[in-house]
Amino acid sequence: MATSNETVISFKEVDFHYDLKRPILEEVSFNIRKGSKITLMGQNWAGKSTIFKLINGTLKQNLGAINTPLDATIATGYQTVLPEDKELTVGEFFRKYYPDPAEFNIDKQIGDILKVVNLKAPLDKKISAFSGGQQARLLLAAALIQDPDILLLDEPTNNLDSEGIWHLTEFLKDYKKTVIVISHDAEFLNSFTDGVIYLDVFTKKIEQFVGNYHDVVEQITRKIEKDNMANARLKKEAQAKKDQANVFAHKWGKLRAVAKKMKEAAAEMEDEMVDNRKEDKTIKDFTIPMQEDIGGVLLEINSVHIIDDGEVVVREEDIKLRKDDHILLAGPNGIGKSTLLQKIVSGEEDGVKVTSGVKVGYYRQDFSNLDFNQTVYDCLREAAEEMTEQDLRSKAAGFLITGDIMKSEIGHLSEGQKGLVAFCRLVFLKPGILILDEPTNHINFRHIPVIAKALDEFKGGMILVSHVDEFVWQVRIDQYLDLK
């Protein structure tokens, strides 16, 4: 079924806030037509995930109206498995989310949908036994198996390898119902979307665009340039009126009245200026300093544990990581990449040895190595050692970490903000080795070239896992360790 003129989701002057002092959405209005495939864009904390929760009924708006057809089914593909679902078997997991769990042929339906996400998963295996990437596929499959009228996907390509992304893309191209996607993967979005809803984190309003993802990014860029040019012209004209008014204000008689009118005209011009898109800021260029007084071999890999057809296998390797040496760790979901990185950091991988005294900076894809109860300020101060308060705040501002964010607990941040805090912390740590597990997950596409440049220039040792080819191509790679 092609896109129709029938509206399937309608927001009318919707307001939402968790805290009156921090509104998320203000007077938001938009319509989504049946059968359309929409990208939800916006800076971190703009309210993208909030929109999803308002659509599926997890949250209730404070003001305004949200309408969907009474008989419309809605399914959401979330980013993380619920704690209570982790001890379910695959069969139990899908029966929980399948519209008719008593259907005789459900096992065949499960098998078919697992093929869509390119995952082999025995029905009696527990969810907790799967890797992060495999759990991401199971979450996606749990949403897809419901065959909903409205499919909401939150960062569906995070943790998926290139083959998994290809399978998902082909499925979405053929899906005949309404799809709304939050993602920072530009190539993935451009392959199937036909419109964009753009959330402004500062005005709390929404703009709606028609066209594929690349077309819309170009439209937004042109609009920013046009607004900036108009603002510059109005600012110049307003200043000229003010200058003339100041001259006439010191004269007698009618000239004073003319001065007053000129000031009013200048004020009107200033009112006509359009708010610049502050949310489109990109993080500043940054450098991750290397630990001083290190050299030679920083890390040796003699053997690694991998998962092959569900069995743990030891593979012999002979890899040495030296200063200014970058390794790309590759392999399909479920082979054990994230587990290997965790064990290297914790010292539990028997065949891998980090040289004594070498400091390891670890970017973990789920941020679980950060203390979610700690404030951002305390997290950064802990890593910044002797850095002055002014330097700490200045460098944090380069990562768009403002004073308000500094006061927030890490657990209250969006996933994208956690990522920026994690990178800022790495700058303060000055590691000898960087270990990075999917560092582009959740990160705004504007920041990715800046991050790639910083990693490319890092002078210490580095082990990188990333499924985003466009990102990897921007980072110098000296050695490959392909677990497959």
More confident residue, 314 or 223: 314
Q: Residue 90 burial by CB count (10 A; 0-12/13-18/19+): exposed, middle or buried?
A: buried
pLDDT over 90 at 376, yes or no: yes
**What is residue 228's predicted lDDT score, i.e. its pLDDT?**
78
Edge-to-edge, what's the strand order for the sheet holding 206-210? 74-77, 150-154, 178-182, 37-42, 195-199, 206-210
Q: Please check whether residue 197 is in contact with residue 206, taking contact to mean a CB–CB distance below 8 angstroms.
A: yes
Cα separation, 292 vs 285, whole angstroms? 22
List phi, psi (to 5°) of 64: 90, -175
pLDDT, mean of residues 265-279 = 63
**What is residue 90's predicted lDDT score, i.e. its pLDDT?**
92
Q: Which of 145-149, 324-328, 416-420 has the highest mean pLDDT?
A: 324-328
Please, what sign has the CA dihedral across residues 76, 81, 85, 90? positive
More confident residue, 483 or 2: 483
pLDDT over 80 at 38, yes or no: yes
Q: Which of 213-227, 252-266, 415-429, 434-448 has the highest mean pLDDT?
A: 415-429
pLDDT over 80 at 224, yes or no: no
Using 50, 70 and 90 to split pLDDT, how confident is the model at 449?
A: very high
Using 50, 70 and 90 to split pLDDT, how confident is the model at 416?
A: confident
Cα separation, 213 vs 219, whole angstroms? 10
More confident residue, 45 or 289: 289
Q: What distance lies between CA 472 and its chain's CA centroid? A: 17
Domain 7-214 listed as CATH 3.40.50.300: yes
Using 50, 70 and 90 to split pLDDT, how confident is the model at 480?
A: very high
**What is residue 241's predicted lDDT score, i.e. its pLDDT?**
72
Domain ranges within the chain, ordered by starting residue:
7-214, 218-278, 297-482
Using 50, 70 and 90 to split pLDDT, how confident is the model at 469?
A: confident
- Stretch among 19-23, 110-114, 167-171, 399-403 having the lowest mean pLDDT: 19-23
Residue type, 197: I
**What is residue 297's predicted lDDT score, i.e. its pLDDT?**
94
Model pLDDT for residues 303-315, shown as the tens digit of each residue: 999 888 778 889 8
More confident residue, 83 or 253: 83
Which residues fall within 8 angstroms of residue 340, CB to CB, at 6 or more apart?
304, 305, 306, 329, 349, 352, 483
**What is residue 1's predicted lDDT score, i.e. its pLDDT?**
44
Q: Which of 6-20, 206-220, 261-275, 345-359 has the highest mean pLDDT?
A: 345-359
* Secondary structure (H, E, C), 337-376: HHHHHHHHHHCCCCCEEECCCCCEEEECCCCCCCCCCCEH
Using 50, 70 and 90 to split pLDDT, how confident is the model at 48?
A: confident
Model pLDDT for residues 56-111, shown as the tens digit of each residue: 998 999 999 999 988 889 999 887 788 889 899 999 999 888 877 666 678 888 98
- Common-topology check for domains 7-214 and 297-482: yes
pLDDT over 60 at 279, yes or no: no
In CATH, the architecture of 297-482 is 3-Layer(aba) Sandwich (3.40)
Q: What is the mean pLDDT of the chain?
A: 86
DSSP conformational letter for 177: S
Using 50, 70 and 90 to split pLDDT, how confident is the model at 289?
A: very high
Which tokens is 19 given?
A: 């805290």
Model pLDDT for residues 148-201, shown as the tens digit of each residue: 999 999 888 877 777 778 888 888 888 899 999 988 777 788 888 888 888 877
